[in-house]
Amino acid sequence: MIITGAAGFIGSNLTEHLLQEGHEVVGIDNLDDYYSGKTMFLERSIEDSNFSMVRGDILDLELMKKTMKGADAVVHLAAQAGVRFSVRDPLKSHMVNVVGTLNVLIAAAEGGVKRVVNSSSSSVYGNIDQRPVTETDEPRPVSPYATSKLAAEIYCRQFHELYGLDTVSLRYFTVYGPRQRPDMAIRIFTERILNGLPPQIFGDGEQTRDFTYIDDVVAAIRSAMIAPDLKGAALNISGGRPITINRLVQELKEVCGRRELEPIYLPPQAGDVNHTWGDPSLAMKLLGWKPRIGIKEGLRRYVEWYRTSEERRTYLGAQTMPGTSLARLAISEPLIHNQMDGLFSNMK
């Protein structure tokens, strides 16, 4: 099985899960400098003899063809994530998310891959009323990131229709849990609250998010790798129970034992949507899956990980900015590793 973006938040959790199940996994990741610290997420996997890591770029079509030939399944997670980043740099979002996905699809189709699980996003829906969106609702993206994710989805469906490649796109609704990206709200709130600083909320805090716990997302991907008759579909992968950001912050303060910290309110951010709420019924039906972890339990697990995991060593210092320590390790040739050797050990 191939996982693009294996070093990232969702990718590293999925990789560990698949290795625990005894599968052979090849991870592809260029260790992009959008944020630092992620090599640590691969430390456990890299010890497993069933794991190989290709350090390379999904924009390198020849590398994708070489790596994907004959794979049972490709889970495509590599992306330039971040709505706000995409407002600053729409071209990079487009290149990685659209052209990169096209490369993955071309390589998979040529290489006889049996199933491609693409990663889409709730952001494709844009601004919706407060009701759960279903896959029949018309997407109206309001950021370059969302546009790129929708374009990638459409390519996935077309590759099914035109070339018979078996694809499915999963629209994740705000995923959280251990290793969550440092640009995401729960991570930022947690860091501030645990440091005794007031959480900063963009807007009035009455915007809602349908948060989805990482283990539920991994379970959905696992099912999507093997479920029959998906035919290029796009499916909502959501917890299905949205809460306001004000309520989220309240819950987090409780879990962290810092109820006294009053939030600071800042102007809303361009590109952000007001509400996300996904109806997961179609995914439940087609994948035989259901979300299991509610927000209280999910936040408890996240904060416990945040407080105790060794992975904090690099995660705590992680920044979303170019030119981090990863840049000095830039290499021109893709390397294949299946041991914790020089490349990874000197990135800690």
Q: Should residue 16 be labelled a site residue for ligand NAD when binding is judged by CB under 6 A?
A: no
- The minimum distance between CB 35 and ligand NAD, in angstroms, equals 7
- Give the binding range for ligand NAD (CB under 6 A) out of 66-74, 133-141, 174-182, 301-309: 174-182
One DSSP character per residue, 213-282 reads EHHHHHHHHHHHTT-S--TT-EEEE--S--EEHHHHHHHHHHHHT-TT---EEEPPPTT--SB--B--HH
Q: Should residue 174 be labelled a site residue for ligand NAD when binding is judged by CB under 6 A?
A: yes
- Give the binding range for ligand NAD (CB under 6 A) out of 172-180, 199-207, 282-290, 310-318: 172-180
Which position among 19, 102, 168, 175 is part of the footprint of ligand NAD (CB under 6 A)? 175
Whether 315 is catalytic: no
Restricting to residues 84-103, which ones interact with ligand NAD according to CB under 6 A? 96, 100
User: Which residues, including other chains, have CB under 8 Å from residue 341's CB and lie 6 or more apart?
Assistant: none
Q: Which is nearer to ligand NAD, 29 or 311 (CB)?
A: 29
Q: Should residue 172 be labelled a site residue for ligand NAD when binding is judged by CB under 6 A?
A: yes
Q: Should residue 224 be labelled a site residue for ligand NAD when binding is judged by CB under 6 A?
A: no
Which amino acid makes up residue 96? V
Q: Should residue 11 be labelled a site residue for ligand NAD when binding is judged by CB under 6 A?
A: yes
Q: Which is nearer to ligand NAD, 157 or 258 (CB)?
A: 157
CA-to-CA dists, residue 295 to 3, 9, 179, 241, 306, angstroms: 27, 18, 16, 9, 16
Residue 120 · residue 171 · CB < 8 Å: yes
Per annotation, catalytic residue among 145, 176, 306, 315: 145
Which position among 1, 42, 81, 220 is part of the footprint of ligand NAD (CB under 6 A)? 81
Tell me which residue of 98, 12, 101 sits closest to 51, measured CA to CA.
12
Q: Which is nearer to ligand NAD, 127 or 259 (CB)?
A: 127
| Alpha-helix residue ranges (DSSP H) falling in the chain | 9-20, 43-46, 61-68, 83-88, 90-94, 100-110, 144-163, 185-194, 214-224, 245-256, 281-287, 295-308, 312-315, 342-345
User: Which residues, including other chains, have CB under 8 Å from residue 309's CB and lie 6 or more apart?
Assistant: 178, 315
Q: Should residue 8 be labelled a site residue for ligand NAD when binding is judged by CB under 6 A?
A: yes
Burial class (CB in 10 A: 0-12, 13-18, 19+), 248: buried
Instruction: Please state, in angstroms and rounded to a whole number, the distance separating the CA atoms of residues 88 and 109.
Output: 33
- The minimum distance between CB 257 and ligand NAD, in angstroms, equals 26
Q: Which is nearer to ligand NAD, 121 or 143 (CB)?
A: 121
Q: Should residue 210 be labelled a site residue for ligand NAD when binding is judged by CB under 6 A?
A: no
- The minimum distance between CB 246 and ligand NAD, in angstroms, equals 20
Q: Should residue 79 be labelled a site residue for ligand NAD when binding is judged by CB under 6 A?
A: yes
* Contacts to ligand NAD by CB under 6 A: 5, 7-11, 29-32, 34, 38, 57-59, 77-81, 96, 100, 119, 121, 172, 174-175, 181
The residues assigned a catalytic role are 145
